[in-house]
Amino acid sequence: MRTRINFYMSEALRSLSTNKATSIAAVIAMLVALLIVGITAVGFLKARAAGDSIQRDASTVNVFLEETVTDAQINALTASLDRDPNVSNVTFVTKEAALERARKIFKESPDVIKNLPGNPFPASLEATLTNPKSMDAVAKGVRDQAGVAEVKTGGENARRAINVAQWATGVFFAIGIGILVAATVLVANTIRLSIYSRRREIEVMKLVGASNSFVRMPFMIEGLLCGIFASLLAMATVYGLVTFLSGKFSDLLDSNPLDSGGGDVPLALISFGLLVLGITLGMFGSATSMRKYLRT
């Protein structure tokens, strides 16, 4: 068994070395396909993360309290919000907690917080909603109660942003499916051309009595190696693009829109997906492209 595997591997490496032009063409085809899929996956995940972030923000009604608010008024407001069927959870945020949040937000510019006269941030109640569409009704129910200084919601802008994020997620998903199908066809055609240039070699092997599996295996390993190489190049390129764009946007906007909502892009997951997809494309393309020449 080991001898046969060594033979298959040596034949695959010999074929890659002998047929450099067709091997490079196959790798480039897979690289282009994997790059497009990888970039689309990043866009899809970021659109989804942004949508989730906007959804969370829009699903919260912030009730800012007066400086003179009493514990009884806070308890009454909390009980009123808890009774509302549109509210799933109520959290009390102290002035100190609000100041600590501000420190995290302005961690790149600490002087902003240091120069503040005391703690200007009010205590608040954060009501998490079961449905963002109920934000106006919930806000109206507490706006005129005792101890309330101001009530803020995402409003119409948040609703528009949610719709845009959901639309963008759907578009990226549809594009990704279309690109995946196109990539499979592109790679299969490229590998078919590569195998066509070596059809005489396959015919000779068949004439001397080689089985279909014996003929197919070196080409499958060749497709596997091309897929791995194309995947590694695609991983490095996608990682470089995401890192570069994250740095550029962070420098321009003092915040990183590529790091909003869902945290960093899960590059490890995307890289693993590209590796699996590259191997699948290489081996599947080799297997399907050889059917014509293995018919007996």
Rg from Cα positions in the chain: 29
CB burial readout 253-285, b (16+ within 10 A) else e: eeeeebbebeeebebeebbebbbebbbebbbbb
For 60-130, CATH number? 3.30.70.3040
pLDDT at 233: 92
**Over residues 160-173, mean pLDDT:** 71
Structure token digits, residue 104? 């995290």
pTM reported for the whole predicted model: 0.58
Q: Can you give the residue ranges of every domain in the chain?
A: 2-54+159-294, 60-130
**Over residues 136-143, mean pLDDT:** 85
Structure token digits, residue 79? 């009980």
- Rounded to whole angstroms, the Cα distance separating 261 from 257 reads 9
Higher-pLDDT residue of 162 and 29 is 29
182: CB partners within 8 A, 6+ apart: 33
Least confident among 12-21, 47-56, 60-69, 275-284: 47-56
pLDDT at 1: 59
- Rounded to whole angstroms, the Cα distance separating 139 from 61 reads 7
23: CB partners within 8 A, 6+ apart: 15, 16, 194, 222, 226
